Amino acid sequence: MNVLVLNAGSSSLKFQVIATDLERIRQHQDQRLCKGEVERVGGEAIVSFQAGEAVQRKFTAPLRDLPAALDFLVRYVVSDKSEVREIKSTADIHAVGHRVVHGGELFSESALIDDEVLRGIEDCIDLAPLHNPGNLQGIVAARQLFGKDTPQVAVFDTSFHHTIPEPAYTYAIPYHLYRRHRMRRYGFHGTSHRYVAYRYRALRGLTREQTNIITFHLGNGCSATAIKEGNSVDTSMGMTPLEGLVMGTRSGDLDPAIVNLIATKEGLSASEVETLLNKHSGLLGISGLTNDMRELLAELREHEDRRVRLAVEVFCYRARKYMGAFLATMGGADAVVFTGGIGENSPEIRNRICDGMQWAGLEIDASRNEQMIGREGLISTDASKLLAYAIPTDEELLIARDTVRVILGEPHPS
Ligand code: ADP
């Protein structure tokens, strides 16, 4: 089955086409046929396209809105220009899988999209006003383009965290705010945490129930998840993706009174403060230089810059703090797993986060750690009691697999 995986944002559309079925899933033999991105939808859009190693293209096209971008993209994929031999017409795209950011309390797993599911996603817009409208537009556009006979599946960032127990998801604010406005921890990056947990247990030959780990997704957005017996039991992001770890441009945890203090002292509105915490904080805010970890580390190697050093230190300190907190709340774990652009590619950051965790039995093996860049494997020593792994994430693959499983009515193993 050829599955078109879509991640539709407000002005961008990321896509992949993945050939997969139940047998390929079992054999871990899914095939990525092509992938790419349309950015700056609404004007002269930039299209990046890749099929295998040989075909890599970047060009511009005037695309006024998301439906136009999707239409253009699908026409391109089915045309000879794309050089994707397996897809000659839209009929060769058998299903569409959508990344949907917020599924609220409604969706505990991926769902076959019908009118009721669409209404459910609409209902979650007030929980994720920045993300769900774009996701929804992507679904509507795909329905129009492919017609109702092509099945479409929604895969939610939040649904893996559906198993978080009440004491871990309840905020200590007046309870009616939960009742009235559904204010609670939901967590995000669920597809990524779920995927690396699956790869971890595949690498070690364990069952889902034997999976007791802490996963760190460290990219532009960052989150940590405590996974006990295969289930998410706590996570660092909250009602929105602003809570928790230090991120590229987001503050993560802070004293909530600061929101009003910034507003008063800087003469900003509440929503301007929210923008400041989402877009001008984190690594960028502390360093005053960039949100890009690779650039910060390169800067540090060249010369001493106090704020750059501090940004990296605060980032690692916060991650280690969550590791300790989750070890306590889940009663110990067997392994920590690093993923995301930083977690997959930076031995230095992995080392800095784990340094000082020897008390918990965690010892990083310097040479294994250095070698594990962009590939999956153990990075702790043989003697380490708490294991450490680097595992590249693949959210699109999991979306494609869920799409197949939901359509065929096969329960997914999470
Ligand atoms: P997103 O969350 O947008 O998907 P990514 O997962 O691609 O982002 O992560 C982007 C982050 O990963 C950036 O901060 C980037 O600098 C960082 N990164 C990528 N490669 C490296 C590297 N070799 N060393 C350190 N950081 C890296």
> What separation in Å is there between the alpha carbon of 73 and the centre of ligand 1?
26
* % the chain with pLDDT above 90: 94
> Ligand 1: residues within 6 Å at CB?
219-221, 248, 292-294, 297, 340-342, 345-346
pLDDT 10s digits, 241-252? 999 999 999 999
The chain-wide mean pLDDT, for the chain, equals 96
pLDDT 10s digits, 1-60? 999 999 998 889 999 999 999 999 999 999 999 999 999 999 999 999 999 888 899 999
Q: Which ligand 1 atom is the nearest neighbour of the CA of 248?
A: 14
pLDDT 10s digits, 237-277? 999 999 999 999 999 999 999 999 999 999 999 999 999 99
Residue 383: both structure tokens together: 């003697």
Q: How far is CA 232 from the centre of its chain?
A: 15
> What separation in Å is there between the alpha carbon of 340 and the centre of ligand 1?
7
pLDDT at 343 over 80: yes
pLDDT 10s digits, 64-112? 999 999 999 999 999 999 999 999 999 999 999 999 999 999 999 999 9
Residue 390: both structure tokens together: 């680097």
Q: How confident is the model at residue 127 (pLDDT cuts 50, 70, 90)?
A: confident
pLDDT 10s digits, 134-147? 999 999 999 999 99
Q: Which ligand 1 atom is the nearest neighbour of the CA of 340?
A: 6
Q: How confident is the model at residue 62 (pLDDT cuts 50, 70, 90)?
A: very high
Q: List all residues 6 or more positions away from 12 whose beta carbon is below 8 Å from its beta carbon.
A: 37, 38, 39, 40, 41
Q: Which of 157, 293, 300 to mutate to test the pocket of ligand 1 (most atoms within 8 A of CB)?
A: 293
pLDDT at 188 over 60: yes
Active site residues: 157
Burial class from Cβ neighbours inside 10 Å (0-12, 13-18, 19+) for residue 59 reads exposed
User: Count of residues for the chain?
Assistant: 414
> What separation in Å is there between the alpha carbon of 341 and the centre of ligand 1?
3
Taking CA atoms only, the protein residue closest to ligand 1 atom 23 is 345
pLDDT 10s digits, 285-306? 999 999 999 999 999 999 889 9
Q: Which of 287, 345, 395, 396 to mutate to test the pocket of ligand 1 (most atoms within 8 A of CB)?
A: 345
**210, 180 in Cβ contact below 8 A?**
no
Q: Which of 12, 16, 39, 220 to mutate to test the pocket of ligand 1 (most atoms within 8 A of CB)?
A: 220
C-alpha distances in Å from residue 229, one per residue of 198, 210, 211, 214, 363: 12, 5, 5, 12, 23
> What separation in Å is there between the alpha carbon of 79 and the centre of ligand 1?
33
Q: Which ligand 1 atom is the nearest neighbour of the CA of 283?
A: 14
> What separation in Å is there between the alpha carbon of 219 and the centre of ligand 1?
5
> What separation in Å is there between the alpha carbon of 29 and the centre of ligand 1?
26
Q: Which of 217, 342, 351 to mutate to test the pocket of ligand 1 (most atoms within 8 A of CB)?
A: 342
Q: Which ligand 1 atom is the nearest neighbour of the CA of 291?
A: 14
- Residue 116 CB neighbours (<10 A): 8
**248 versus 411: which is more confidently predicted?**
248
Supply the pLDDT for residue 413: 63
Letter string b/e over residues 159-187, b meaning 16 or more CB atoms within 10 A of that residue's CB = bbbbbbeeebbeeeeeeeeeeeebbbbbb
Taking CA atoms only, the protein residue closest to ligand 1 atom 12 is 341
Letter string b/e over residues 299-313, b meaning 16 or more CB atoms within 10 A of that residue's CB = bbeeeeeeebeebbe
> What separation in Å is there between the alpha carbon of 218 and the centre of ligand 1?
8
Supply the pLDDT for residue 13: 95
Give the closest residue to 275 by CA, choosing from 285, 287, 286: 285
